[in-house]
Amino acid sequence: MRRTLVLVSLAVTSMVALAFLIPLALTVREIARDRALTSAERQAGALGPVLVVTEDPAALDRAVASTQAGAARRMTVHLPDGGVVPRGDVVGTRATPEQRAAAIRRGRSHAARVPGGYAFLQPVWLDAGRTAVVEVFLPDDELSEGVASAWLVMTGVAAALVAGSVAVADRLGHRMIRSTRRLADAAAAFGDGDLRVRLDPDGPPELIEAALAFNAMADHVVQLLAAEREMAADLSHRLRTPLAALRLNAEALGDGPVADQTREAVDRIEREVDQIIRTVRKPTARGSCDAAKVLRERVGFWSVLAEDERRSCELIGAEDAAPLPIPASELAAAVDALLGNVFRHTPEGTGFAVTLHRGQGVTGILVADAGTGIADPGAALRRGASGGGSTGLGLDIARRAAEATGGHLRIHRSVLGGAQVQMWLRTRTPTPGRRARRQRLRRASR
């Protein structure tokens, strides 16, 4: 946009400057020519009274020499008897006899084109119907004297005006682009999760209104999110009552492996509820984790239930560290969602395997089972859609965790015969704000 404004200003100002400059340049040239002709006419007219009084060559010689053109040897007096003053071959005689005769026939002065310039011919009527002709030679240089310098000055003034208008347009464009970029950067930062970003309205009135609208929108979004967090916290807090009753029932089971597993499960649920309440009331910043460590912990947790249901459970490739730009709690929630789907949608005794795959710039978590598979993978990935009677949020939790790193979620057929959910996570967090700014810079004019 900035470049467009500069180009428009350059084009408009240049056309206006040319519209005035070309006629003015032609006028200056005509003024210089008229000035030279007027001077020649005045000097030629000065000899008229002398010719009327005397035709003595010596007197005429002195009269011619007293003029500027005569001193420059560019004035000649053609007498009726064919004589020429000054006598001899002089530079000032350029007009042909036909041109002098034409001036006499016309009865008035005029300029005739001759080699090297113009000859100004002034007829002077004497006694007895005789006519003399005063000739003043005007070289081309004198006709255009001062024209080049005037044109140069006018060109400089026009260039200065064009440069000034372009500079003003560039400053105005810079101000507009700066305000637009600030608005775009603030929107990108807000979309990246920085809910504190606000704009100081600046620039044209339209952009000021847009900045005020953005600030109002941001405040409203923050209020809505705060209300949602409080509501989610309240709903989660309501789970404490049935959890307290469940804990009392678990304590009454006495001793034994089943009782211990039940109490451990209740403790786990209570910790998750507390974590949910803390998270929704005060969201934590983005962090990182070791995917291998998270997988070992979560597979270890689910392996107890797998053993009770006689499921084979295998973790592959989780020996070495695999850092990911995602908080451990989010990755654990995604893995729990995938493993929970295996237990929920496959019969007891169905084995499963979890594989950690490290690639160039990407890490994959593959959960495969030996069940019947997923008939419609596209429908399964839609949030809230489930063909197994569940909430349909498990795969969506895993998908959002993968997309938070710039990755993706895919569903394929596993080598075990059932479904294989592939969660691919990038090892570097993308920066949407920077990518959007780079795209805008490529489109925007500077």
What is the pTM for the complete model shown? 0.45
Assess if residue 359 is contained within a domain. Answer: yes
Last residue of a domain, one of 148, 177, 198: 148
Res 276: pLDDT: 65
Q: Which helix (H) or strand (E) holds 59?
A: helix 57-65
Among 184, 186, 164, CA closest to 176: 184
Residue 123, in any domain of the structure: yes
- Check residue 236 and give its pLDDT: 62
In whole angstroms, give the CA distance from residue 128 to residue 248: 151
Q: How many domains does the chain have?
A: 2
| Amino acid, res. 233 | A
Token digits of residue 8: 């428009």
Specify whether the CB–CB gap between 119 and 136 falls below 8 A: yes
Per-10-residue mean pLDDT for the chain, 446 residues long? Answer: 75 84 87 87 86 84 86 86 72 77 86 87 86 88 84 88 84 77 85 83 83 90 80 66 74 75 76 66 67 92 87 90 88 89 88 92 92 78 54 76 88 88 82 47 43
Q: What is the CATH number of the domain that holds 324?
A: 3.30.565.10
**Which pLDDT value is given to residue 445?**
38
Q: Does a structural domain hold residue 304?
A: yes
272 domain-assigned: no
- Show which of 126, 148, 170 is a domain's final residue: 148
User: Is the CB of residue 350 less than 8 Å from the CB of residue 367?
Assistant: no
> What residues does 84 pair with on adjacent strands?
78
User: Among residues 148, 178, 199, which one ends one of the domains?
Assistant: 148
pLDDT at 444: 45
Give the domain CATH number at 73: 3.30.450.160
Given this model, what pLDDT does residue 89 score? 47
pLDDT for 423: 92
> Does a structural domain hold residue 108?
yes
Does 180 reside within a domain? no
Would residue 280 count as lying in a domain? no
Give pLDDT, residue 181: 82
Domain for residue 219, yes or no?
no
Find the domain containing 53 and state its range: 2-148
